[in-house]
């Protein structure tokens, strides 16, 4: 596997650390500002918050914007319980992502795999990795260069929805594609 | 960090007093059998005066009562008091209040050092149970000395190994459920003396002690990706282990000799089990399967590894040689089995079981027989063994958006389920070996 040069990769890693809250584009999130979006990421502390610019998400109506990618193309796909197999809807979303990525070569991506809380911590890490990998493989099959993609698993550590019911679990069993601006050129 | 451990090396253990016989009289609790009534004991406040003598006395009583196997008789019921540590015991006065065990003690203070002396008596046979012992150390290690006394009493009466003088590394959690801040921390087994090991700037998971308790393996997102790290508690230095780009490493545990780390490595979505020699850095792949292999744990003799795999479709427990190779499935029931951990005594494997929407902590023999579920809740997971292999601690998380994790302990008999006090929400406990 070929990866980006190390320095570049580090930038990408810091970037994802800083803006990894999967809810940042959540309900009404188009106006994602420094406070509501990045500042809320408790997991990575002050270091991450300080390194993040607040521009660049853009208008979801602008097809070249990150907001367009996350909201219109769709930045996430969902999975069945204890499964990492893509369903038709997931493949459709990923195909859209691949198309967008292929026409926006300036972006690298990190695919985050997640699990619901009905599993043990380490198993869920492995399951999240499986899900991220399923998405990654499909994106590659759609022409996205492997060197632009990295995966990470959060297991059950970063739920998108926090209730303990199937309605939330269904949202948490996901793979989220996070754009890394300027990292994939 | 672990300053108490360093001074603990100075804890002297010595014999004193006359000849006593290690006898197996009527004063005996069999932990694995049904105990109906806790054994009543009397513990008059240790002589020597001062606050520390009272604190030590209360902590010894709390350790013993906390097991659920002993019951303290209140001092208001005492007929006689212990005039001096060396005075003859008035057995009849203790018999009269049905004290089966009598624990007497004395605390000698000299500057910032204390010496704690104690004797244990079998009241109904009218004899000492074992020799008198004394422990010496600095005043700030008084809790450890109390735990040592309680350990000696517990061991003499139950015949089991001690475990009170031990610590628990765990994860302290704060913040909302979707943005938890997690910090590694160490505390005494009873929740006292919490010390933070990390700042909370990085997500950290599942710490595990080295066999000597002086190093801690854990998984951190420090690099942005889950990787295993090794923390030396003497100097607080951390180093990453096996940092391979494009992979995730997690679920680390030490071999019993402390030289090898067994862990999971994920590459291309597939997790397998590997070992890493911490000195040479040599890595070895033990499983090679498209399924999830994780949760490895060595047998105490270092010859076998128990782990979980979903190669059959759902997670089950398997045992293989420490060098890898053919694995045999040992779990047989319906449901998912995860997080197997070999008992330090070698006789059992504790695990998490998920069945019909509930989570359980359970134990089974190392061949999978005699499975017993000890707990049941919305979410119980990740058991860790007390050093004597008779008590388990685990994470219990409550449901809902406001759900919070907490540490609980339970005897392998299923008795004495109780919450362990922690500094806020806590998860992923790992019990240290008995302190030296």
pLDDT for residue B27: 73
Between A49 and B380, residue with greater pLDDT = B380
Contact A120 B199 (CB under 8 A): no
- Kindly state the average pLDDT of the residues B107-129: 96
Arch. (CATH architecture) of A6-181: 2-Layer Sandwich (3.30)
Residue of chain B with shortest Cα separation from A22: B178
The rounded percent of chain B whose pLDDT value lies above 70 is 92
- H helices of B11-141, in order, are 50-66, 91-96
The shortest CB-CB distance from B201 to any of A44, A134, A164 is to A44
Does A48 have pLDDT greater than 80?
Answer: no
Does B175 lie at the interface with A, CB-CB under 8 angstroms?
Answer: yes
Contact A126 B292 (CB under 8 A): yes
CB B144 within 8 A of CB B137: yes
- Kindly state the average pLDDT of the residues A95-100: 98
pLDDT for residue A184: 46
CB B336 within 8 A of CB B313: no
CB A182 within 8 A of CB A46: no
Rounded-to-integer distance, Cα B233 and Cα B85, Å: 39
Chain A residues lying within 8 Å of B262, measured CB to CB = none
Which two structure tokens, joined as six digits, stand for A85? Answer: 């197999």
Chain A residues lying within 8 Å of B176, measured CB to CB = 42, 162
- Kindly state the average pLDDT of the residues A165-181: 96
Quote the mean pLDDT of chain B: 92
Does B10 have pLDDT greater than 60?
Answer: no
Reported ipTM: the value is 0.91
Report which of B298, B248, B265, B258 is spatially closest to residue B279, judged by C-alpha positions.
B258
Least confident window among A136-140, B1-5, B59-63, B378-382: B1-5
Chain B residues lying within 8 Å of A157, measured CB to CB = 180, 203, 205
Report which of B379, B407, B378 is spatially closest to residue B392, judged by C-alpha positions.
B407
Tell me: the pLDDT tens digits for B247-274? Answer: 999 999 999 999 999 999 999 999 999 9
pLDDT for residue B26: 61
Q: Is the dihedral of CA B95, B96, B101, B105 positive or negative?
A: negative
Residue of chain B with shortest Cα separation from A127: B292
The shortest CB-CB distance from A123 to any of B268, B315, B400 is to B315
Q: Where are the domains of chain A?
A: 6-181
Contact B269 A3 (CB under 8 A): no
Quote the mean pLDDT of chain A: 78
Domains contained in chain B, CATH given? 3-158 (3.40.50.10070), 167-431 (2.120.10.30)
The shortest CB-CB distance from A120 to any of B266, B270, B338 is to B338
Does B417 have pLDDT greater than 60?
Answer: yes
The rounded percent of chain B whose pLDDT value lies above 90 is 88
Does A41 have pLDDT greater than 80?
Answer: no
pLDDT for residue A58: 82
pLDDT for residue B421: 98
- Kindly state the average pLDDT of the residues B134-160: 97
B209: buried, middle or exposed (CB in 10 Å: 19+, 13-18, 0-12)?
buried
Contact A42 B400 (CB under 8 A): no
Tell me: the pLDDT tens digits for B204-243? Answer: 999 999 999 999 999 999 999 999 999 999 999 999 997 7
- Kindly state the average pLDDT of the residues A60-76: 94
Residue of chain B with shortest Cα separation from A47: B201
**Residue A90 confidence class, pLDDT cut points 50, 70, 90:** very high
Contact B382 A3 (CB under 8 A): no
Cβ-proximal residues to B395 (8 Å cutoff; 6+ apart), any chain: B379, B380, B381, B382, B405, B406, B407, B408, B426, B427, B428, B429
Chain A residues lying within 8 Å of B200, measured CB to CB = 45
Contact B177 A159 (CB under 8 A): yes
Element (H, E) at B186: strand B181-188
- Kindly state the average pLDDT of the residues B343-350: 97
- Kindly state the average pLDDT of the residues A46-56: 45
CB A174 within 8 A of CB B246: no
The shortest CB-CB distance from B203 to any of A132, A157, A161 is to A157
Tell me: the pLDDT tens digits for B351-360? Answer: 999 999 999 9
Chain A residues lying within 8 Å of B175, measured CB to CB = 42
Contact A126 B264 (CB under 8 A): yes
Contact B203 A47 (CB under 8 A): no
Tell me: the pLDDT tens digits for B284-337? Answer: 999 999 999 999 999 999 999 999 999 999 999 999 999 999 999 999 988 999
Contact A42 B201 (CB under 8 A): no
CB B157 within 8 A of CB B29: yes
Rounded-to-integer distance, Cα B267 and Cα B227, Å: 12
pLDDT for residue A18: 36
């Amino acid at each position: 596997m070929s990866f980006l040069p190390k320095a570049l990769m580090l930038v990408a890693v810091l970037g994802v650390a800083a803006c990894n809250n999967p809810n940042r584009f959540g309900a009404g999130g188009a106006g994602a500002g420094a406070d509501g979006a990045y500042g809320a990421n408790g997991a990575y502390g002050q270091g991450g918050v300080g390194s993040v610019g607040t521009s660049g998400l853009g208008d979801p109506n602008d097809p070249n914007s990150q907001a367009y990618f996350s909201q219109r193309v769709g930045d996430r796909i969902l999975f069945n319980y204890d499964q990492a197999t893509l369903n038709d809807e997931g493949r459709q979303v990923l195909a859209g992502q691949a198309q967008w990525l292929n026409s926006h070569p300036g972006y690298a991506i990190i695919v985050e795999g997640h699990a619901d809380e009905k599993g043990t911590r380490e198993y869920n890490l492995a399951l999240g990795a499986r899900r991220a990998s399923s998405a990654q493989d499909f994106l590659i099959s759609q022409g996205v260069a492997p060197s632009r993609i990295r995966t990470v698993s959060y297991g059950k550590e970063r739920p998108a929805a926090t209730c303990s019911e199937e309605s939330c679990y269904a949202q948490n069993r996901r793979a989220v594609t996070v754009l890394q601006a300027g990292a994939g050129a | 960090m672990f300053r108490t451990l360093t001074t603990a090396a100075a804890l002297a253990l010595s014999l004193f007093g006359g000849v006593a016989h290690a006898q197996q009289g009527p004063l005996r609790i069999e932990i694995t059998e049904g105990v109906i009534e806790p054994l009543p004991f009397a513990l008059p406040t240790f002589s020597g005066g001062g606050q520390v003598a009272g604190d030590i006395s209360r902590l010894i009583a709390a350790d013993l009562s906390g097991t659920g196997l002993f019951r303290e008789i209140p001092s208001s019921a005492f007929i006689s008091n212990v005039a001096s540590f060396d005075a003859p015991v008035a057995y009849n006065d203790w018999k009269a209040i049905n004290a089966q065990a009598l624990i007497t003690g004395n605390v000698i203070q000299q500057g910032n050092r204390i010496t704690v002396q104690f004797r244990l008596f079998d009241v109904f046979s009218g004899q000492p149970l074992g020799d008198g012992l004394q422990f010496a150390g600095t005043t700030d290690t008084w809790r450890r000395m109390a735990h040592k006394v309680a350990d000696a009493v517990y061991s003499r009466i139950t015949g089991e190994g001690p475990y009170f003088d031990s610590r628990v590394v765990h994860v302290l959690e704060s913040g909302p459920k979707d943005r938890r801040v997690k910090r590694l921390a160490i505390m005494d087994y009873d929740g006292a003396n919490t010390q933070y090991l990390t700042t909370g700037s990085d997500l950290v998971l599942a710490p595990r002690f080295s066999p000597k308790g002086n190093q801690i393996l854990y998984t951190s997102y420090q690099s942005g990706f889950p990787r295993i790290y090794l923390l030396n508690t003497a100097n607080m230095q951390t180093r990453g282990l096996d940092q391979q780009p494009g992979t995730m490493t997690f679920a680390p545990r030490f071999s019993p000799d402390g030289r090898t780390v067994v862990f999971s490595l994920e590459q291309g979505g597939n997790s397998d089990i590997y070992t890493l020699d911490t000195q040479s850095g040599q890595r070895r792949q033990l499983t090679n399967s498209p399924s999830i292999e994780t949760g490895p744990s060595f047998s105490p003799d270092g010859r076998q590894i128990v782990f979980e795999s979903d190669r059959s479709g759902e997670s089950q427990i398997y045992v293989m040689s420490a060098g890898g190779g053919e694995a045999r499935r040992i779990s047989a029931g319906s449901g998912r089995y995860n997080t197997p951990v070999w008992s330090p005594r070698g006789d059992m494997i504790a695990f998490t079981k998920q069945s019909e929407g509930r989570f359980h902590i359970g134990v089974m023999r190392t061949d999978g027989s005699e499975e017993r579920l000890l707990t049941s809740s919305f979410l119980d997971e990740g058991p860790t063994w007390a050093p004597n292999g008779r008590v388990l601690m685990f994470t219990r998380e409550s449901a809902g958006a406001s759900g919070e994790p907490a540490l609980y302990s339970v005897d392998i008999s299923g008795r004495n389920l109780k919450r362990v006090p922690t500094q806020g929400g806590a998860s992923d406990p790992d019990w240290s070996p008995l302190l030296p």
